């Protein structure tokens, strides 16, 4: 039996402003800037911030889905993510720290939900 593949697509292009790109995902358009320290305008979300936001968004959405699946009364989930890089080597993350806060469930349930996310 063949596996069904899901394809996610994004498009990016330069816009004539050094360090700025216009990005399209489905019918959503948004600007991503190179940070000022990298020579870009640094006015909009940076590539690293967009990357990290994708990870934290995935985390809160999955934890929420797991709680609904279990029938647990999760009132909210928040995630804070930080990526640490060397200024001389900004393309490589030295460490990533992801912290979850959950409301409406017990401590044991919260730990189980986050552990399930980590084991995905």
Q: What's the predicted TM-score (pTM) here?
A: 0.89
Give the confidence band of 90 by pLDDT, cuts at 50, 70, 90: confident
Task: Please enumerate in sequence order all residues whose Cβ is within 8 A of that of 71, keeping only pairs 6 or more positions apart, or say none.
Answer: none
| Token pair for 49 | 């911030």
Residues 81 and 120 in one domain: yes
Number of domains in the chain: 2
Domain membership of residue 17 as a residue range? 1-45
| pLDDT for the residue numbered 1 | 67
Residues 59 and 1 in one domain: no
Q: Which of 3, 4, 49 is nearest to 23 (CA)?
A: 49
Give the confidence band of 33 by pLDDT, cuts at 50, 70, 90: very high
Give the confidence band of 106 by pLDDT, cuts at 50, 70, 90: very high
Asked if residue 40 has pLDDT above 90, the reply is yes
For residues 80-86, average pLDDT: 96
Residues 39 and 61 in one domain: no
Q: What is the mean pLDDT of the chain?
A: 96
Task: Give me the CATH number covering residue 65.
Answer: 3.30.300.20
Residues 38 and 83 in one domain: no
Residues 15 and 72 in one domain: no
């Amino acid at each position: 039996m063949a596996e069904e593949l899901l394809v996610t697509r994004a498009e990016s292009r330069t816009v004539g402003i050094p360090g700025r790109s216009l990005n399209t995902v489905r019918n959503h358009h948004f600007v991503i800037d190179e940070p000022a320290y990298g020579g870009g305008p640094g006015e909009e979300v940076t590539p690293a911030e967009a990357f990290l936001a994708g990870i934290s968004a995935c985390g809160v959405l999955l934890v929420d889905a797991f709680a609904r699946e279990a029938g647990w009364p999760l009132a909210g989930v928040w995630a804070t993510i930080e990526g640490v890089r060397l200024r001389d080597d900004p393309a490589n993350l030295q460490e990533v720290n992801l912290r979850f806060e959950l409301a409406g469930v017990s401590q044991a349930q919260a730990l189980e939900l986050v552990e399930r996310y980590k084991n995905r």
